[in-house]
Structure 1
């Protein structure tokens, strides 16, 4: 890891993100930045007062930050639209990881306007580490979620290149939905025509597809366990997290594209809204032409 940036709103829920960022700085001996963006959508006098207060507070905490990470961070206080400006700052600082804290969950508001975090995930060009849990140690039980797309392959490679996967390897999860295929068969030939072992056949096909994907993308060297789960992706994730220890979920932010993504929703968005493990959300190298926002 060459450098990381912590984007903080200075709330209590940002404390875990701070400690995880500091732990990563110690682990990788890399430079780091602490960024706070003052929302530009308020009176100018209030902006000026807030900028001054934040700068004083961060400077007062500088010795603490330096001791925590073993390295003194650069402190940035900026003014702008938070989601857009944080993404721009990662480019200016040339970091390869952005660390953020969990956000307030307000389902009604999120449905209509989205959270700053979700807007940031859609515009960021670097992986975003969403910290939900206390940083008690290095990541030892990561889970790579894949839909066998280029986006999920890029997510797995990014986690490996950042050094966030343990040496023995990581688990990979691939979900399949036999119900969807069965409904299509039923519509065309009647429910009686659906084979009794349809789900088992779908599981075999999903397993073969995952093996082919890992081979094609050359990901097998850092995968030590394959999990094939029945159900929709977010349902499969819930099931695995209930029964197995997972301290880091790694996923791409754009498996689906265009109108299909709008209709079906984003698994990454859903995971960030409800799952309580840390999440590494990795954008694709290049945005699909028909899916720009």
Structure 2
């Protein structure tokens, strides 16, 4: 990891993100930035007052930040649209990872996750680490959410290149939903009418598809256990999270379309709102020429 940035709203819930960012800066001995963006959509006098107060507060805390991270962070206090400006700042600072704070689980009361974070996840060109838990240790039990797409392969590689995966490897989750069973349920046959051998055959097909994907993408070396779960992606994620001590979920923010089981933006949004582990979302590689087409 070459550099990381903490985007903070200075709330109490941002403290865990601060400590995780500092821990990563110390672990990788890399430069780190602390960014606060003052929303420009308010009276100018209030904007100027808030900038002055925030800058004074962060500068007063600089020794504390330096002790946490092993080196002094560069502190930025900016004015603008928070989501857009945070994304712009990651480009200006040429960082590898954006760290953001936890959120309340009631979206009606949480404008940060309802607007800024979700917009960041959709537009960011760098991975975003959402910190929900105290940074007591390195990540020891990560879960890689796969959908056999290029996006999920990129997410695994990004997590590995950032140094967030343990050397022993990580668990990989692939969710499948038997199409035939779903059709039968829709026709009113009932869950008990789905043949057990059909579900078993679909599991074998899903396992074979995952094996091919890992082989083609050359990801076998970073995965030590495969979890093939029946159900929609969020259903499978909830099930695994209930029984496994997962401390980091890694997922791409785009996937395949059509009948394949995918992990797309809406699933990432649901995971961020609901799950209480830390979550690394990785954007797809954007090809400028292709984007212009």
TM normalised by structure 2 equals 0.90
Q: Which runs of 5+ in 1 are unaligned?
A: none
Q: Which runs of 5+ in 2 are unaligned?
A: none
Q: Would you say 1:214 and 2:214 are equivalent positions? A: yes
Q: Deviations over 1:110-166 (max 9, x none)?
A: 89x933111110010000000000000000110000011111000000000000000
1:10-89 equivalences under 5 Å are 10-89=10-89
1:142 match:
142
For the structure 1 residues 38 and 228, does the alpha-carbon distance in structure 2 shift closer, same or farther, using more than 3 Å as the test? same
CA distance in structure 1 between the partners assigned to 2:4 and 2:266 by the alignment: 26
CA contact 2:4–2:96 (8 Å) conserved in 1: yes
CA contact 1:38–1:51 (8 Å) conserved in 2: yes
Q: Deviations over 1:245-264 (max 9, x none)?
A: 10100000111569x99xx8
CA distance in structure 2 between the partners assigned to 1:3 and 1:211 by the alignment: 34
CA distance in structure 1 between the partners assigned to 2:99 and 2:196 by the alignment: 47
CA distance in structure 1 between the partners assigned to 2:88 and 2:122 by the alignment: 13
For the structure 1 residues 290 and 95, does the alpha-carbon distance in structure 2 shift closer, same or farther, using more than 3 Å as the test? closer
1:73-222 equivalences under 5 Å are 73-108=73-108, 114-178=114-178, 180-184=179-183, 195-222=195-222
CA distance in structure 2 between the partners assigned to 1:5 and 1:281 by the alignment: 15
CA contact 2:104–2:110 (8 Å) conserved in 1: no
CA contact 2:103–2:110 (8 Å) conserved in 1: no
Aligned residues: 286
For the structure 1 residues 122 and 56, does the alpha-carbon distance in structure 2 shift closer, same or farther, using more than 3 Å as the test? same
1:236 match:
236
TM normalised by structure 1 equals 0.90
Q: Displacement of 1:265 after TM fit?
A: 6.1
